[in-house]
A and B are shown apart, each in its own frame.
Chain A
């Protein structure tokens, strides 16, 4: 009998199985790729699920227009290296044509949902892989591995399809779609452990570097043209890294000296603050902020 499977083996095997199920049962899947660590891991899993064949679906990036340069560079390079088609859906375009209005405060996080749903309709995607994890947030804890979305892209947490064993019901009507979450059962530490043992490449943003930042609501925000500062918010140069990567207007940095994956893992092991609590301003709006966005069709 072979040795026991490790926890990462089990999680990888489960994720690969779901990716193959979606590829086998859907006509037009795509993978949501933000350039962040979870989507980088997801892309690696897709590569492994299909090997030695190439990844047979495009990657979709919903670009808020407020992204870090390092992330866009990484996005373009990874897509080219893997030979996958990159589809960029632009929130700026949605604003320009009047589909969404700019929010006060400059956050375009909520606006992403409209752009995403428009892109799904335009490209007729019927399944979208996402890197969301159930440990991130309590509304996400309620999410299925294969999650049904109605013709308006909406998630109805009270009316989800029961998900038994490893059987995923992927039947949909035209216009409806599913979201597939292969990383559902992974924790932040699992993701980092996988990054380490697989050598998954990440944008440089994830490692300590000197950057001009200012403090707002207890978070360190990067100096950027999309976020006006009031006079009390003073720029300082600090050694920081990012724990999540998203819109520059709501993604906080953490003070850090970790320049390698193992140093990042050591810092995470010692931290007393959760990933979203430390770095995501958009989840602080209300206790149900994520639930509300998810109902509308957010990832």
Chain B
């Protein structure tokens, strides 16, 4: 099969890409863990190490303060905490990694949700001395809710509990019992010491009772689980591209689900018209077949009125076209609440529509999974909400497709992004 992909010369790194998010409470050693991963995988360069040594010495630290590597803002370095999501990059011979480094404070739930939205895997870090906390459970629930299929429990600071197998075993068992109730594919527990480097990149000799992989070995081997191309075809239309002198008219977008090829039948929403794909174009030429998440331009057999916000989809398996949604909403505004009657904008795929909150049904306790009835959601709270829309959107359940099942809420007055929407049902 000839696709643009195959034509890339061999020197283009074809290694897979794993996106993962890290979560841990303050002082669980999250920044140190990331620093250790970068340091021991030889991803740091000499000048970065030198800068680190200098900064560590200035703070009077004995040895390298690896946490200083990741705290990018002045306020973070001064306070020794992480304020906002940052992205880090490193690669090994086997895989390239993008880390969404998310702060651990309860009040930063919105950052964890943001970081997890694009992650294939989440690392939940706990302090071996404290065991599982409310925070650890919250992180596991948020990751599962955001459809992160792979969880790693990194039990840190094993050196401070004498590398005791029983301590690790108890925490791992408790975590497994809790995550049994969540929709995740795989949960892996690894005992580590980020400060010393045990089982982070290199396996530890201090814990001979542990025969599993180091954290990095696990990250290199874990199934990245990109199942975006497996579902039915979805192409939210971003814009029409025209070249009048060539009589060219195509519809550009990033495939949000499934695959598409020439001669396949598609359905256009909102018109409900069926048509045939004449060609799947890229700037490098036509593709035999394209898959999610490729950005392509599709030409159609019929002259339809197709524009931004429309969707082309599998003819026999269309998304719901609906003006009423039920969703899990994570509320992200510190200055206002989500309550019935509130008017907002909903941005879903390439379509932005007016929305009104019809009902707030409950609030999810993200540490116990218990739901309680409430009348409003405040900052960092998550709950079931019913939204009524001024125009239909073309959506799947978030559990089935992150791209067509996720949306954001925007405040019309301030333009702030105030809510993450995970669609659970349509009316």
Query: Residues of A at under 8 Å CB distance from B?
Result: 1-10, 12-14, 16-17, 20-21, 23-24, 47-53, 134-135, 138-142, 157-158, 160-167, 169, 171-173, 184-185, 187, 189-190, 193-194, 196-197, 262, 265, 271-274, 277-278, 287-288, 291
Query: Residues of B at under 8 Å CB distance from A?
Result: 1, 3-6, 8-9, 11-17, 45-48, 51, 55, 69-75, 77, 83-89, 91, 96, 98, 101, 110-111, 113-114, 117-118, 229, 238-239, 241-243, 246, 248, 252-254, 259, 282-284, 288-291, 293-295, 297, 308, 332, 345, 347-348, 350, 402-403, 406-408, 410, 415-417, 420
Could you show 8 A-B contacts with beta carbons less than 8 Å apart? A4-B14, A7-B16, A164-B406, A171-B410, A187-B91, A193-B12, A194-B12, A274-B45
- B46 near A272: Cβ-Cβ < 8 Å: yes
Contacts of B246 in A (CB 8 A): 52
- Which 6 A-B pairs have CB atoms at the shortest separation, nearest pair first? A277-B47, A138-B72, A48-B283, A51-B283, A16-B295, A171-B415
Contacts of B45 in A (CB 8 A): 271-274, 277
A271 to B44, CA, bound (A): 11
- B283 near A1: Cβ-Cβ < 8 Å: no
Measured between C-beta atoms, what is the minimum distance from A174 to chain B in Å? 12
- B416 near A161: Cβ-Cβ < 8 Å: yes
A49 to B180, CA, bound (A): 44
- A10 near B13: Cβ-Cβ < 8 Å: no
Contacts of B88 in A (CB 8 A): 134-135, 141
Contacts of A157 in B (CB 8 A): 73, 83-84
A1-B229, A164-B113 known; A158 vs B295 contact (CB < 8 Å): no
- A4 near B16: Cβ-Cβ < 8 Å: yes
Write the chain A residue with the least CB distance to B347. A167
Measured between C-beta atoms, what is the minimum distance from A270 to chain B in Å? 11
Contacts of A160 in B (CB 8 A): 84
Measured between C-beta atoms, what is the minimum distance from B98 to chain A in Å? 6
A269 to B14, CA, bound (A): 16
Write the chain B residue with the least CB distance to A190. B13
Contacts of A142 in B (CB 8 A): 72-73, 84-86
- B11 near A193: Cβ-Cβ < 8 Å: yes
Contacts of B15 in A (CB 8 A): 6-7
Q: Indicate which residue in A23, A53, A140, A197 contacts B243 across the interface (CB closer than 8 Å).
A: A53
- A169 near B415: Cβ-Cβ < 8 Å: yes
A20 to B236, CA, bound (A): 12
A134-B89, A162-B332 known; A288 vs B11 contact (CB < 8 Å): no
Q: Indicate which residue in A14, A193, A274, A288 contacts B47 across the interface (CB closer than 8 Å).
A: A274
Contacts of B69 in A (CB 8 A): 138
- B350 near A24: Cβ-Cβ < 8 Å: yes
A3-B1, A4-B16, A173-B415 known; A135 vs B89 contact (CB < 8 Å): yes
- A141 near B86: Cβ-Cβ < 8 Å: yes
A172 to B16, CA, bound (A): 36
- B73 near A139: Cβ-Cβ < 8 Å: yes
Write the chain B residue with the least CB distance to A23. B239
- B84 near A52: Cβ-Cβ < 8 Å: no
Contacts of A196 in B (CB 8 A): 9, 11-12
A22 to B12, CA, bound (A): 28
**A-B contact sample (8 more), CB < 8 A, given A9-B8, A53-B241:** A5-B294, A9-B5, A10-B293, A20-B238, A51-B282, A52-B283, A162-B114, A277-B48
Measured between C-beta atoms, what is the minimum distance from A183 to chain B in Å? 12
Chain B contact residues: over half helix, strand or loop, or mixed?
mixed
- A7 near B96: Cβ-Cβ < 8 Å: yes
Most buried by A among B70, B86, B288, B406: B86
- A141 near B294: Cβ-Cβ < 8 Å: no
Contacts of A193 in B (CB 8 A): 11-13
- A167 near B408: Cβ-Cβ < 8 Å: yes
A192 to B195, CA, bound (A): 34
A262 to B291, CA, bound (A): 30
- B8 near A2: Cβ-Cβ < 8 Å: no
Write the chain B residue with the least CB distance to A19. B295
- A10 near B77: Cβ-Cβ < 8 Å: no
Measured between C-beta atoms, what is the minimum distance from A88 to chain B in Å? 27
Contacts of A138 in B (CB 8 A): 69-72, 86
- A185 near B89: Cβ-Cβ < 8 Å: yes
Contacts of B98 in A (CB 8 A): 185
Most buried by A among B45, B70, B420: B45
Contacts of A24 in B (CB 8 A): 238-239, 308, 350
- A291 near B415: Cβ-Cβ < 8 Å: no
- A13 near B11: Cβ-Cβ < 8 Å: no
- B293 near A20: Cβ-Cβ < 8 Å: no
Measured between C-beta atoms, what is the minimum distance from B211 to chain A in Å? 31
A7 to B72, CA, bound (A): 26
Write the chain A residue with the least CB distance to B290. A2
Contacts of B241 in A (CB 8 A): 50-53
- B239 near A20: Cβ-Cβ < 8 Å: yes
Measured between C-beta atoms, what is the minimum distance from B167 to chain A in Å? 34
Contacts of B51 in A (CB 8 A): 277, 287
A139-B73, A141-B88, A272-B45 known; A2 vs B5 contact (CB < 8 Å): yes
- B295 near A17: Cβ-Cβ < 8 Å: yes
Measured between C-beta atoms, what is the minimum distance from B45 to chain A in Å? 4
Contacts of A164 in B (CB 8 A): 113-114, 117-118, 406, 408, 417, 420
A272 to B49, CA, bound (A): 10
Most buried by A among B75, B101, B253, B254: B254
- B407 near A13: Cβ-Cβ < 8 Å: no
A251 to B2, CA, bound (A): 43
Write the chain A residue with the least CB distance to B411. A171
- A5 near B5: Cβ-Cβ < 8 Å: yes
Contacts of B289 in A (CB 8 A): 2
A3-B1, A164-B406 known; A273 vs B8 contact (CB < 8 Å): no
- B47 near A162: Cβ-Cβ < 8 Å: no
A287 to B73, CA, bound (A): 9
A171 to B408, CA, bound (A): 13
Measured between C-beta atoms, what is the minimum distance from A204 to chain B in Å? 22
Contacts of B86 in A (CB 8 A): 134, 138, 141-142
Contacts of A53 in B (CB 8 A): 241-243, 248
A194 to B8, CA, bound (A): 10
Contacts of B1 in A (CB 8 A): 2-3
Contacts of B239 in A (CB 8 A): 20, 23-24
- B283 near A47: Cβ-Cβ < 8 Å: yes
A7 to B350, CA, bound (A): 24
- A169 near B12: Cβ-Cβ < 8 Å: no
Contacts of B252 in A (CB 8 A): 20, 49
Contacts of A189 in B (CB 8 A): 13, 91
